[in-house]
Protein backbone atom coordinates (compact mmCIF):
# COMPACT_ATOMS: atom_id res chain seq x y z
CA UNK A 1 0.00 0.00 0.00
CA UNK A 2 1.32 3.45 -0.96
CA UNK A 3 2.50 5.53 1.94
CA UNK A 4 0.43 8.60 2.62
CA UNK A 5 2.58 11.69 2.58
CA UNK A 6 2.37 15.47 2.44
CA UNK A 7 1.33 15.44 -1.23
CA UNK A 8 -1.68 13.21 -0.57
CA UNK A 9 -2.72 15.30 2.40
CA UNK A 10 -2.47 18.50 0.36
CA UNK A 11 -4.48 16.97 -2.49
CA UNK A 12 -7.31 16.11 -0.10
CA UNK A 13 -7.12 19.56 1.42
CA UNK A 14 -7.16 21.43 -1.92
CA UNK A 15 -9.31 19.19 -4.10
CA UNK A 16 -11.21 16.87 -1.78
CA UNK A 17 -14.39 18.94 -1.56
CA UNK A 18 -14.33 19.79 -5.27
CA UNK A 19 -14.65 16.15 -6.36
CA UNK A 20 -17.44 15.23 -3.96
CA UNK A 21 -20.62 14.12 -5.70
CA UNK A 22 -24.08 13.47 -4.33
CA UNK A 23 -24.18 10.17 -6.20
CA UNK A 24 -24.45 7.29 -3.71
CA UNK A 25 -21.56 5.56 -5.47
CA UNK A 26 -20.20 4.53 -8.87
CA UNK A 27 -22.73 3.63 -11.59
CA UNK A 28 -21.27 1.12 -14.04
CA UNK A 29 -24.36 -0.46 -15.55
CA UNK A 30 -24.87 1.12 -19.01
CA UNK A 31 -28.68 0.87 -18.89
CA UNK A 32 -28.87 2.61 -15.50
CA UNK A 33 -26.31 5.17 -16.66
CA UNK A 34 -28.49 6.06 -19.67
CA UNK A 35 -31.45 6.63 -17.33
CA UNK A 36 -29.40 8.85 -15.02
CA UNK A 37 -27.93 10.80 -17.90
CA UNK A 38 -31.42 11.96 -18.80
CA UNK A 39 -32.83 12.30 -15.27
CA UNK A 40 -29.84 13.93 -13.61
CA UNK A 41 -27.85 15.61 -16.38
CA UNK A 42 -30.63 16.28 -18.95
CA UNK A 43 -28.62 14.41 -21.59
CA UNK A 44 -30.07 12.02 -24.16
CA UNK A 45 -27.28 9.54 -24.91
CA UNK A 46 -27.21 6.42 -27.07
CA UNK A 47 -26.67 3.32 -24.92
CA UNK A 48 -23.98 2.20 -27.39
CA UNK A 49 -21.81 5.22 -26.51
CA UNK A 50 -22.15 4.48 -22.79
CA UNK A 51 -21.45 0.75 -23.18
CA UNK A 52 -18.37 1.25 -25.38
CA UNK A 53 -16.98 3.91 -23.04
CA UNK A 54 -17.45 1.72 -19.96
CA UNK A 55 -15.94 -1.28 -21.77
CA UNK A 56 -12.87 0.83 -22.62
CA UNK A 57 -12.55 1.84 -18.96
CA UNK A 58 -12.67 -1.84 -17.97
CA UNK A 59 -9.96 -2.58 -20.54
CA UNK A 60 -7.85 0.26 -19.05
CA UNK A 61 -7.95 2.32 -22.24
CA UNK A 62 -8.49 6.08 -22.58
CA UNK A 63 -11.43 7.14 -24.76
CA UNK A 64 -11.49 9.75 -27.53
CA UNK A 65 -14.84 11.46 -28.19
CA UNK A 66 -14.45 12.96 -31.65
CA UNK A 67 -16.91 14.97 -33.73
CA UNK A 68 -18.21 18.43 -34.65
CA UNK A 69 -18.90 21.08 -32.00
CA UNK A 70 -22.27 21.17 -30.30
CA UNK A 71 -22.76 17.39 -30.28
CA UNK A 72 -22.39 17.00 -26.51
CA UNK A 73 -18.91 15.51 -26.30
CA UNK A 74 -17.77 17.50 -23.28
CA UNK A 75 -21.02 17.35 -21.31
CA UNK A 76 -21.48 13.63 -21.93
CA UNK A 77 -17.83 12.88 -21.15
CA UNK A 78 -17.96 14.78 -17.87
CA UNK A 79 -21.21 13.04 -16.85
CA UNK A 80 -19.93 9.55 -17.73
CA UNK A 81 -16.74 10.08 -15.73
CA UNK A 82 -18.77 11.17 -12.70
CA UNK A 83 -21.10 8.17 -13.00
CA UNK A 84 -18.19 5.76 -13.40
CA UNK A 85 -16.18 6.97 -10.40
CA UNK A 86 -18.97 8.33 -8.20
CA UNK A 87 -16.95 11.55 -7.97
CA UNK A 88 -16.77 14.74 -10.00
CA UNK A 89 -14.01 14.63 -12.62
CA UNK A 90 -11.31 17.18 -13.33
CA UNK A 91 -11.59 19.15 -16.59
CA UNK A 92 -8.42 20.11 -18.47
CA UNK A 93 -9.14 22.59 -21.32
CA UNK A 94 -6.14 22.10 -23.59
CA UNK A 95 -3.84 24.73 -25.00
CA UNK A 96 -0.49 24.69 -26.81
CA UNK A 97 1.45 25.62 -23.66
CA UNK A 98 0.13 22.83 -21.44
CA UNK A 99 2.94 20.79 -19.90
CA UNK A 100 3.55 18.41 -17.01
CA UNK A 101 4.02 21.24 -14.53
CA UNK A 102 0.53 22.59 -15.20
CA UNK A 103 -1.20 19.22 -14.82
CA UNK A 104 1.01 17.16 -12.49
CA UNK A 105 2.57 19.71 -10.18
CA UNK A 106 5.45 22.04 -9.48
CA UNK A 107 7.43 23.45 -6.58
CA UNK A 108 6.39 26.66 -4.88
CA UNK A 109 9.50 28.85 -5.33
CA UNK A 110 9.44 30.50 -1.90
CA UNK A 111 8.62 27.27 -0.08
CA UNK A 112 11.36 25.46 -2.00
CA UNK A 113 13.91 28.06 -0.92
CA UNK A 114 12.88 27.63 2.71
CA UNK A 115 12.32 23.88 2.89
CA UNK A 116 14.06 22.49 -0.18
CA UNK A 117 12.63 20.60 -3.14
CA UNK A 118 10.54 18.08 -1.26
CA UNK A 119 6.91 17.20 -0.56
CA UNK A 120 6.52 20.18 1.75
CA UNK A 121 7.10 22.61 -1.13
CA UNK A 122 5.39 20.64 -3.91
CA UNK A 123 2.04 21.93 -5.26
CA UNK A 124 -0.03 19.11 -6.83
CA UNK A 125 -2.11 19.81 -9.93
CA UNK A 126 -5.32 18.18 -11.25
CA UNK A 127 -3.90 15.11 -13.06
CA UNK A 128 -1.93 13.99 -10.01
CA UNK A 129 -4.91 14.83 -7.80
CA UNK A 130 -7.16 12.64 -9.96
CA UNK A 131 -4.91 9.61 -9.47
CA UNK A 132 -4.74 10.16 -5.71
CA UNK A 133 -8.50 10.78 -5.37
CA UNK A 134 -9.39 7.98 -7.84
CA UNK A 135 -11.55 10.11 -10.10
CA UNK A 136 -11.73 10.83 -13.82
CA UNK A 137 -10.17 13.45 -16.06
CA UNK A 138 -11.75 15.01 -19.14
CA UNK A 139 -9.11 16.45 -21.46
CA UNK A 140 -11.03 18.91 -23.62
CA UNK A 141 -9.89 19.66 -27.21
CA UNK A 142 -6.79 17.46 -27.12
CA UNK A 143 -5.81 18.59 -30.64
CA UNK A 144 -4.98 22.02 -29.22
CA UNK A 145 -2.13 20.56 -27.19
CA UNK A 146 1.34 19.63 -28.40
CA UNK A 147 2.59 16.10 -29.14
CA UNK A 148 4.77 15.93 -26.02
CA UNK A 149 1.74 16.63 -23.84
CA UNK A 150 -0.33 14.01 -25.69
CA UNK A 151 2.40 11.40 -25.14
CA UNK A 152 2.64 12.33 -21.46
CA UNK A 153 -1.09 11.71 -20.99
CA UNK A 154 -0.99 8.41 -22.87
CA UNK A 155 1.90 7.13 -20.77
CA UNK A 156 0.06 8.03 -17.57
CA UNK A 157 -3.22 6.46 -18.70
CA UNK A 158 -1.42 3.31 -19.95
CA UNK A 159 0.57 2.68 -16.81
CA UNK A 160 -1.95 4.25 -14.42
CA UNK A 161 0.79 5.96 -12.50
CA UNK A 162 2.70 9.24 -12.28
CA UNK A 163 6.39 9.45 -11.40
CA UNK A 164 7.73 12.66 -9.87
CA UNK A 165 11.52 12.23 -10.05
CA UNK A 166 12.27 15.25 -7.84
CA UNK A 167 10.29 13.64 -5.02
CA UNK A 168 11.51 10.11 -5.76
CA UNK A 169 7.85 9.11 -5.64
CA UNK A 170 5.58 7.06 -7.83
CA UNK A 171 1.85 7.69 -7.41
CA UNK A 172 -0.23 4.74 -8.60
CA UNK A 173 -3.97 4.57 -9.25
CA UNK A 174 -5.41 2.35 -6.54
CA UNK A 175 -8.91 1.90 -7.95
CA UNK A 176 -10.82 1.97 -11.23
CA UNK A 177 -12.20 5.50 -10.86
CA UNK A 178 -9.19 7.10 -12.55
CA UNK A 179 -10.09 7.17 -16.25
CA UNK A 180 -9.43 9.65 -19.07
CA UNK A 181 -11.74 10.90 -21.81
CA UNK A 182 -10.32 13.11 -24.56
CA UNK A 183 -12.50 15.29 -26.78
CA UNK A 184 -11.59 16.45 -30.26
CA UNK A 185 -13.09 18.36 -33.18
CA UNK A 186 -11.00 17.31 -36.22
CA UNK A 187 -12.48 20.06 -38.40
CA UNK A 188 -11.41 22.93 -36.14
CA UNK A 189 -8.67 25.26 -37.31
CA UNK A 190 -5.45 26.29 -35.53
CA UNK A 191 -4.82 22.92 -33.94
CA UNK A 192 -2.40 20.00 -34.12
CA UNK A 193 -2.75 16.54 -35.56
CA UNK A 194 -3.02 13.49 -33.33
CA UNK A 195 -0.10 11.12 -33.75
CA UNK A 196 -0.47 7.52 -34.93
CA UNK A 197 0.82 6.40 -31.53
CA UNK A 198 -1.97 8.37 -29.84
CA UNK A 199 -4.71 7.05 -32.12
CA UNK A 200 -3.53 3.44 -31.75
CA UNK A 201 -3.82 3.58 -27.98
CA UNK A 202 -7.23 5.21 -27.56
CA UNK A 203 -10.75 3.89 -28.09
CA UNK A 204 -12.37 6.33 -30.53
CA UNK A 205 -16.08 7.07 -30.20
CA UNK A 206 -17.55 8.99 -33.13
CA UNK A 207 -20.00 11.80 -32.39
CA UNK A 208 -22.27 13.34 -34.98
CA UNK A 209 -25.50 15.31 -35.19
CA UNK A 210 -28.26 13.07 -33.81
CA UNK A 211 -31.32 11.99 -35.83
CA UNK A 212 -34.09 14.58 -35.96
CA UNK A 213 -36.38 12.74 -33.51
CA UNK A 214 -33.53 12.45 -30.99
CA UNK A 215 -32.66 16.13 -31.38
CA UNK A 216 -36.33 17.05 -30.79
CA UNK A 217 -36.30 14.91 -27.66
CA UNK A 218 -33.15 16.62 -26.42
CA UNK A 219 -34.84 20.01 -26.81
CA UNK A 220 -37.89 18.73 -24.89
CA UNK A 221 -35.69 17.41 -22.06
CA UNK A 222 -33.79 20.69 -21.82
CA UNK A 223 -36.88 22.94 -21.98
CA UNK A 224 -39.35 21.26 -19.64
CA UNK A 225 -40.03 24.39 -17.64
CA UNK A 226 -42.49 27.05 -18.77
CA UNK A 227 -43.06 28.95 -21.04
CA UNK A 228 -44.08 25.98 -23.17
CA UNK A 229 -42.59 25.50 -26.62
CA UNK A 230 -45.20 24.14 -29.07
CA UNK A 231 -44.06 21.13 -31.12
CA UNK A 232 -44.62 23.13 -34.31
CA UNK A 233 -42.04 25.69 -33.18
CA UNK A 234 -39.57 22.96 -32.19
CA UNK A 235 -40.00 21.58 -35.69
CA UNK A 236 -39.31 25.01 -37.24
CA UNK A 237 -36.17 25.37 -35.11
CA UNK A 238 -34.89 21.99 -36.29
CA UNK A 239 -35.79 22.73 -39.91
CA UNK A 240 -33.63 25.85 -39.70
CA UNK A 241 -30.76 24.13 -37.87
CA UNK A 242 -30.64 21.27 -40.38
CA UNK A 243 -30.86 23.65 -43.34
CA UNK A 244 -27.91 25.66 -42.00
CA UNK A 245 -25.83 22.50 -41.66
CA UNK A 246 -26.15 22.03 -45.42
CA UNK A 247 -25.05 25.57 -46.28
CA UNK A 248 -21.61 27.08 -46.57
CA UNK A 249 -21.65 28.90 -43.22
CA UNK A 250 -18.38 28.44 -41.36
CA UNK A 251 -19.97 27.76 -37.97
CA UNK A 252 -22.53 25.03 -38.52
CA UNK A 253 -24.97 24.87 -35.58
CA UNK A 254 -24.87 21.80 -33.37
CA UNK A 255 -27.43 20.39 -30.99
CA UNK A 256 -26.09 22.76 -28.34
CA UNK A 257 -27.15 25.74 -30.50
CA UNK A 258 -30.58 24.21 -31.10
CA UNK A 259 -31.09 23.86 -27.35
CA UNK A 260 -29.73 27.34 -26.61
CA UNK A 261 -31.99 28.85 -29.26
CA UNK A 262 -35.06 27.17 -27.76
CA UNK A 263 -34.10 28.25 -24.26
CA UNK A 264 -33.39 31.84 -25.33
CA UNK A 265 -36.83 31.98 -26.95
CA UNK A 266 -38.31 30.66 -23.68
CA UNK A 267 -36.60 33.35 -21.65
CA UNK A 268 -37.72 36.07 -24.04
CA UNK A 269 -41.30 34.83 -23.74
CA UNK A 270 -40.91 34.80 -19.96
CA UNK A 271 -39.71 38.41 -19.97
CA UNK A 272 -42.81 39.33 -21.95
CA UNK A 273 -45.06 37.61 -19.43
CA UNK A 274 -46.20 34.90 -21.86
CA UNK A 275 -46.67 31.25 -20.90
CA UNK A 276 -46.08 30.02 -24.45
CA UNK A 277 -43.22 30.65 -26.89
CA UNK A 278 -44.24 32.43 -30.09
CA UNK A 279 -42.71 32.56 -33.56
CA UNK A 280 -41.60 36.15 -32.83
CA UNK A 281 -39.67 34.97 -29.73
CA UNK A 282 -37.83 32.42 -31.84
CA UNK A 283 -37.10 34.77 -34.73
CA UNK A 284 -35.82 37.58 -32.46
CA UNK A 285 -33.34 35.27 -30.76
CA UNK A 286 -32.20 33.56 -33.97
CA UNK A 287 -29.35 35.79 -35.12
CA UNK A 288 -27.70 36.26 -31.70
CA UNK A 289 -27.57 32.47 -31.27
CA UNK A 290 -26.80 31.34 -34.82
CA UNK A 291 -24.65 34.08 -36.39
CA UNK A 292 -21.11 33.58 -35.07
CA UNK A 293 -19.34 35.31 -37.97
CA UNK A 294 -20.23 38.50 -39.83
CA UNK A 295 -19.63 36.85 -43.21
CA UNK A 296 -22.30 34.22 -42.45
CA UNK A 297 -25.07 36.66 -41.52
CA UNK A 298 -26.65 37.09 -44.97
CA UNK A 299 -26.93 33.34 -45.55
CA UNK A 300 -28.38 32.75 -42.09
CA UNK A 301 -30.96 35.53 -42.57
CA UNK A 302 -32.01 33.97 -45.85
CA UNK A 303 -32.58 30.55 -44.24
CA UNK A 304 -34.56 32.06 -41.35
CA UNK A 305 -36.70 34.07 -43.76
CA UNK A 306 -37.39 30.93 -45.78
CA UNK A 307 -38.39 28.86 -42.72
CA UNK A 308 -40.27 31.47 -40.69
CA UNK A 309 -41.50 33.87 -43.33
CA UNK A 310 -40.26 36.79 -41.21
CA UNK A 311 -37.02 38.77 -41.44
CA UNK A 312 -34.91 38.43 -38.25
Per-run averaged pLDDT (10 residues), the chain, 312 residues: 75 96 96 97 96 96 94 96 98 86 92 91 96 97 89 88 93 94 83 85 94 95 90 96 94 94 96 96 97 94 94 86
Contact 134, 83 (CB under 8 A): no
Measured CA angle at 60 (ends 122, 54), to 5 deg: 115
- Alpha-carbon distance of 42 to 78, in angstroms, equals 13
Which bin fits 250, alpha (ψ -120 to 50), beta or left (φ > 0)?
Answer: alpha
Closest CA to 167 of 7, 305, 1, 4: 7
Read off the pTM. 0.90
| pLDDT for the residue numbered 226 | 86
Q: Would you give the DSSP letter of residue 276?
A: B
Q: What pLDDT does residue 189 have?
A: 65
What are 171's strand-pairing partners? 162
Q: Return the closest-CA partner of residue 307 out of 216, 235, 248.
A: 235
70: left (phi over 0), alpha (psi -120 to 50) or beta: left
Separation CA 102–CA 237 (nearest Å): 42
Q: What is the DSSP letter of 67?
A: -
Amino acid sequence: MQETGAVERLVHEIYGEAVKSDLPGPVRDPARAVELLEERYKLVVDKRIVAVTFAAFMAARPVLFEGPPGTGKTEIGEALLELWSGKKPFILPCSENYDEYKVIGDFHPIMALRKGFNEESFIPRPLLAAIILDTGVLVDEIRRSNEDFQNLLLDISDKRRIIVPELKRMFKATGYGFQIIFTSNPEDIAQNELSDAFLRRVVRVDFNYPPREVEARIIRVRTRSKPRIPSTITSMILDTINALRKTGVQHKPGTAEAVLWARMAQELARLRGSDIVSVNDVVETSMPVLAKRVEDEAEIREVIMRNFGVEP
